[in-house]
Amino acid sequence: MDGENKKELFERVPVPKAIATMAVPTIISQLVNLVYNMVDTFFIGRTGDSYKVAAVTVVFTLFMFTIAFSNLFGIGGGSLAARLLGQGKEEDARKVTAFSFYGALIAGLAYSLLIWAFMGPLLRLLGASDATMGYAEQYVWLVVILGSTPTIVSAAAAHLLRNLGFSRQASIGLSGGGILNIALDPLFMFVILPPGMEVMGAALATLISNAAACIYMIVMIFRVSKKAPISCNPAAVRGIRREDVKEIFSVGVPSALLNGLFDLATIVLNNQMAGHGDLPLAAVGIVMKAERLPNAINIGICQGMLPIVAYNYSSGDRRRMGETVKTARICGLAISAVCVVLFMVFAPSVAEIFLSTSGDAAADALTTIALAAGFLRIRCLASPVQFLNYHSSFCMQAMGNGRGTLIHSILRQLVFYIPLMLIMNRLWGVNGLVAAVIVGEALGAACAMLLFRAGLRRAEAKH
């Protein structure tokens, strides 16, 4: 897609078609990546060992922190690049993308060193027990310590490509990595490595697939840099304006914090759930994988929406911006409602996908599946309000409203959800702990919508 076609897409293509053009490839890549994030749990679940599933659940939180770092530079830099493109400042956009690329690289290396230095205490904090610690250490070495840098760089590069109109290319890279992981998982787990090494096999497959996706993204940036303001050349960073660096962090830090606090909430959930035993911990791990289906689709919609909103906000076309926001909101709420119905009806079948009941630990597996089905029927009710949180937050990021995004992040997780988990766990036990997400996300969504509308009013007052 050349510059003129991008201009046509952002300015004149009918809004539903423009959102579809940007969002459909992103949704596909989100779903493929959802499958490959699930596939480790799925194949490990074929062993029938609930303790191996619990170990992956513990480490998965550390892996998900990589999203925060990729968002710091990918969404912070990508949102700004889209706004600069709307203002016709292509050279400034190029410098912003180069700065963001190398910022992601440095962040990945720093995170890997941090996890290496504090691996043992972190795993205990996340809920690893004596029965799961060995498996958790195998997984964290390969997926987090060695794998964080390629994971963060590839995800940040995908954001940069997407925000400049190259949604299909970004999605191919992420989807390709996911498909490779799906193919390599059974090969390493059940063919190459001996029995008992299934967790290490899954981790190796994930590491290799993320590294392959990273290489693809770097090659793609080099290719499209000939026709778009994007670069991973270190020389392009020179001369970046101080105000642009500040703007990257003003949006990127709240976006990273949004994901970081979400992961902190997951840590609290796992820690509290571990107090009820390894089987409930394994069950909630299964549920959090299953509920990523509506989240993946809705995040894809929001990521497809963001560059269109950012471009038209910057260019001053408030009518097109408003239509984009409304269309994305309707689509996301409809998908959330459908997923609620499906999870309510098929919760036991969904839980059975992730854990075999034919092994020696069949009794534990059956208990875990029953717990997971009950948890899923409760937590799925939060899906519509979770989407409203994503939607309003992405809209604020598109507008460069870092302050609103930051306030929303803090309120959503630190003020509402985490305290509610502690309170409801104490009052109603495991079901109260699971249900806290519904109340927390509803309160967060209400605040997010108010913050977004307040930001719109301030923007209108300036014009």
Please check the confidence at residue 463 and state whether its pLDDT lies above 70.
Answer: no
Helical H segments across 188-317, by residue range: 198-224, 242-274, 278-290, 292-315
Query: Do 111 and 148 touch, CB atoms closer than 8 A?
Result: yes
**Entry pTM:** 0.76
- Give the C-alpha separation, 43 to 53, whole Å: 10
173: confidence class by pLDDT, cuts 50, 70, 90: confident
Q: Tens of pLDDT along 187-206?
A: 998 889 888 888 889 889 98
DSSP-derived letter for residue 103 is H
Residue with the bigger pLDDT between 29 and 124: it is 124
Please check the confidence at residue 355 and state whether its pLDDT lies above 50.
Answer: yes
- Give the C-alpha separation, 385 to 382, whole Å: 6
Helices H / strands E in the chain, number of each: 17, 0
User: What pLDDT shows up at residue 349?
Assistant: 92
Find the Cα–Cα–Cα–Cα dihedral 196, 202, 207, 210, rounded to 10°: 180
Within 13 Å of residue 97, how many CA atoms lie on the same side as its CB? 31
User: What pLDDT shows up at residue 267?
Assistant: 83
The distance of Cα 307 from the centroid of its chain, to the nearest Å, equals: 17
Please check the confidence at residue 4 and state whether its pLDDT lies above 60.
Answer: no
Task: Report the range of poorest mean pLDDT among 126-130, 276-280, 283-287, 307-311.
Answer: 126-130
Task: Report the range of poorest mean pLDDT among 35-44, 76-85, 116-125, 389-398.
Answer: 35-44
- SS3 state of residue 53: helix
Mean pLDDT of 397-411: 90
- Give the C-alpha separation, 344 to 315, whole Å: 44
Greatest Cα-to-Cα distance within the chain, rounded to the nearest angstrom:
68
Task: Report the range of poorest mean pLDDT among 109-113, 196-200, 343-347.
Answer: 196-200
Q: Tens of pLDDT along 434-455?
A: 999 999 999 999 999 999 999 8
- Mean pLDDT, the chain, rounded, equals 89
Closest residue by Cα to residue 407 from 448, 358, 436, 440? 448
Residue with the bigger pLDDT between 255 and 209: it is 209
Please check the confidence at residue 2 and state whether its pLDDT lies above 70.
Answer: no
- Give the C-alpha separation, 13 to 18, whole Å: 6
CA distances for 305 relative to 60, 69, 72, 331, angstroms: 28, 21, 18, 11
User: What pLDDT shows up at residue 1?
Assistant: 45
Q: Tens of pLDDT along 224-238?
A: 988 888 998 898 998
Find the Cα–Cα–Cα–Cα dihedral 357, 359, 363, 367, rounded to 10°: -40
Q: Tens of pLDDT along 41-70?
A: 677 777 777 788 778 877 877 887 888 899
Q: Which one of 1-10, 44-53, 106-115, 307-316 scores highest in mean pLDDT?
A: 106-115
Within 13 Å of residue 277, how many CA atoms lie on the same side as its CB? 10
Portion of the chain with pLDDT greater than 70, in percent:
96
